[in-house]
Amino acid sequence: MIGKEIRLERCMDRNTGRAVIVPMDHGMTLGQIEGLRDMTRVISEVSEGGANAIVLHKGMVTAGHRRHGRDIGLIVHLSASTALNPDPNDKVLVCTVEEAIALGADAVSIQINLGSPNESRMLEAAGQISRDCTRWGMPLLIMAYARGQGIDGSSPAAVSHCVRAAEELGADLIKVNYPNDPVAFRRIVEACSVPVLVAGGEKGGDEAAIAMVREAVGAGGAGVCMGRNAFQREDTAAFVGRVCEAVHEEPR
């Protein structure tokens, strides 16, 4: 669909076909955490660093609209839960595709947690959102994780299942955990028809994060969705710039 193609180009690098996306939806889950207290400032820093797109909940779009500086793609997140919930993995819809369009979104995203007690409801919601995205020509990013009792969410088997489930649901972009195995990840990516990005995870060392990104992209990944590992840096713009170099340079 031409509408999806045009909007996707606002969230990815049209030359490399890869993307650096910075999710900033953590306030819903965790509250007023470090790095997300001044949304206008942090979005400016992420944009200055060269990120292709950010992910926000609908209520933060106005707070993050800077009216100046480098443009950046806007992905509106449609699902949510909080860390105060007895089951934080229970994601429910809090926004619609139509609302996202009215807010000027270039894409929408949802999260599904395979293996959680409410997996069925999340899959049903994802199916509904996918239908609406097709209707409106809106790209859909599905953040898919394997989370449940006794599940290793970063194992190649779990990651491959997440990728396939998201693809079957109609995702245009997929975000999953990196399995820390480039050979296994290449097999997973090659078996998928849409771009697969890896999660950035919790804040860790600079060099370890960059090395993970390079390895994932070198194995065929389409980039990274990196939140706290990006916006909680002392110099966010500089770190995001390094991530962009790792994603968009030609893989070795």
Distance CA 100, CA 97 (A): 5
Specify the DSSP class assigned to residue 252: -
> What pLDDT is attached to residue 151?
94
Nearest CA to 21 out of 89, 88, 83, 72 is that of 72
Is 175 annotated in the active site?
A: yes
> What pLDDT is attached to residue 123?
98
> What pLDDT is attached to residue 252?
46
> What pLDDT is attached to residue 250?
64
Low-confidence ranges of the chain (pLDDT < 70): 203, 250-252
CATH number at residue 221: 3.20.20.70
| Residue 139 vs residues 40, 101, 158, 222: alpha-carbon distances, Å | 25, 11, 24, 15
Nearest CA to 184 out of 207, 209, 211, 163 is that of 163
Nearest CA to 229 out of 216, 241, 239 is that of 239
Q: Residue 59, by phi and psi: left (phi above 0), alpha (psi -120 to 50) or beta?
A: alpha
H/E run at residue 20: strand 19-23
| List 58, 91, 132, 175, catalytic entry | 175
The answer to whether 189 and 220 are in contact (CB under 8 A) is: yes
> What pLDDT is attached to residue 41?
94
Total domains in the fold of the chain: 1
- Helices (DSSP H) in the chain: which residue ranges? 2-8, 26-30, 39-49, 61-64, 97-102, 119-136, 156-169, 182-190, 206-218, 228-231, 236-248
Is 25 annotated in the active site?
A: yes
| List 58, 90, 106, 145, catalytic entry | 145
Residue 8 burial class via C-beta count within 10 angstroms: exposed 0-12, middle 13-18, buried 19 and up:
buried
Nearest CA to 26 out of 94, 77, 102 is that of 77
Nearest CA to 198 out of 237, 252, 153 is that of 153
Is 145 annotated in the active site?
A: yes
Enclosing domain of residue 107: 2-248
| List 25, 90, 132, 172, catalytic entry | 25
